């Protein structure tokens, strides 16, 4: 036999040893050392919610991974098994020898998107989740096509004006290019121009000064403030 033949045999044997070890070692550790998933914990906002409704729901989704090999299980696969619309920043961690920890944060709604008679919470990424028939948290209500995708834009503008942030109750996205916002309980409409951050901030400051200048007994007569064309037009009635 030639030396080349023996070299091929040697290489083959080494490959078999490596592959066999890759397969057998995790199995041996699983059986002998307890590297088998027996515990799954769910932690949300640094609180253990494993026994809460949210945690139990995630455990039910992951029941098939119990007794899987802790070493070989793919955390990306575990992540894809989880359906939790109220959560963000979901991460999967292994704690050897026998534990999986699911860590996440709760989405924080910045508004409520009203569509077809239902309300959907909207987070700061524009994602909608959890529909309800009532706005039980009294959040700002937004309407209009794709309003949820642009709500962060208008909310960022409003929060820079204390008067608006304290009094806004709703906002409507018009023709996917501009906003109407509603303030006070009776919903005085402020019609804003097409989106231009600097310009809108100045307009909101002007509207604030306008409302402070109007006598309280006359304020009830104001139905809208039109800011779309540069000048501010006050509508009565």
In whole angstroms, what is the distance from residue 142 CA to residue 176 CA? Answer: 13
CB 113 within 8 Å of CB 128: yes
State the greatest distance between any 2 C-alpha atoms of the chain, in Å, as a whole number.
109
The verdict on pTM exceeding 0.75 is no
Domain 111-236: which topology?
Rossmann fold (3.40.50)
Q: Are strands 222-229 and 141-143 parallel, antiparallel or unpaired?
A: unpaired
Q: What is the pLDDT of residue 196?
A: 63
Listed in sequence order, the residues at least 6 apart from 122 whose beta carbon sits closer than 8 Å to its beta carbon are: 109, 110, 111, 112, 113, 128, 142, 148, 151
* Domain parsing of the chain, residue ranges: 39-106, 111-236
The DSSP secondary structure of 67-123, one letter per residue, reads: TSBTTT--HHHHHHT---TTEEEEEEEEETTTEEEEEEEE---SEEEEETTEEEEE-
CB 224 within 8 Å of CB 178: no
Q: What is the pLDDT of residue 50?
A: 95
pLDDT, one tens digit per residue, over 96-116 is 889 999 999 998 888 999 888
Q: Hey, how many other C-beta atoms are within 10 angstroms of the C-beta on 203? A: 21
Question: What CATH number has the domain spanning 39-106?
Answer: 3.10.20.310
Task: Please calculate the CA angle 199-146-136 and round it to the nearest 5 degrees.
Answer: 100
Structure-token pair, residue 196? 């231009």
Q: What is the pLDDT of residue 34?
A: 60
pLDDT tens string, the chain, 237 residues long: the values are 444 544 544 454 444 444 444 455 555 545 545 678 999 999 999 999 999 999 999 999 999 999 998 888 999 999 999 999 889 999 999 998 899 999 999 988 889 998 887 888 888 888 888 767 666 667 889 999 999 998 888 888 888 888 888 889 999 999 988 999 999 888 899 998 886 656 777 888 888 888 888 777 777 788 888 988 877 888 886
Listed in sequence order, the residues at least 6 apart from 5 whose beta carbon sits closer than 8 Å to its beta carbon are: none
């Amino acid at each position: 036999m030639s030396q080349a033949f023996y070299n091929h045999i040697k290489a083959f044997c080494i490959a078999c040893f490596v592959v066999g070890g890759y397969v057998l070692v995790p199995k041996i550790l699983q059986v002998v050392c307890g590297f088998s998933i027996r515990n799954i914990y769910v932690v949300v906002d640094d609180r253990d919610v494993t026994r809460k409704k949210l945690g139990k729901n995630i455990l039910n989704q992951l029941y098939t991974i119990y007794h899987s090999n802790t070493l070989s299980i793919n955390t990306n696969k575990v992540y894809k098994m989880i359906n939790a619309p109220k959560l963000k920043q979901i991460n999967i961690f292994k704690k050897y020898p026998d534990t999986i920890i699911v860590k996440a944060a709760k989405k924080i709604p910045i508004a409520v998107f009203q569509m077809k008679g239902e309300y959907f919470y909207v987070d700061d990424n524009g994602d909608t989740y959890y529909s309800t028939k009532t706005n039980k948290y009294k959040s700002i209500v937004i309407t209009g096509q794709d309003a949820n995708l642009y709500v962060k834009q208008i909310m960022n503008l409003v929060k820079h004006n204390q008067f608006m942030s304290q009094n806004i109750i709703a906002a409507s996205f018009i023709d996917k290019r501009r906003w109407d916002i509603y303030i006070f309980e009776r919903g005085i409409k402020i019609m804003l121009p097409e989106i231009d951050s600097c310009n809108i901030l100045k307009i909101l400051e002007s509207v604030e000064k306008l409302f402070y200048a109007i006598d309280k007994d006359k304020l009830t007569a104001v139905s809208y403030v039109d800011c779309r064309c540069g000048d501010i037009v006050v509508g009565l009635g």
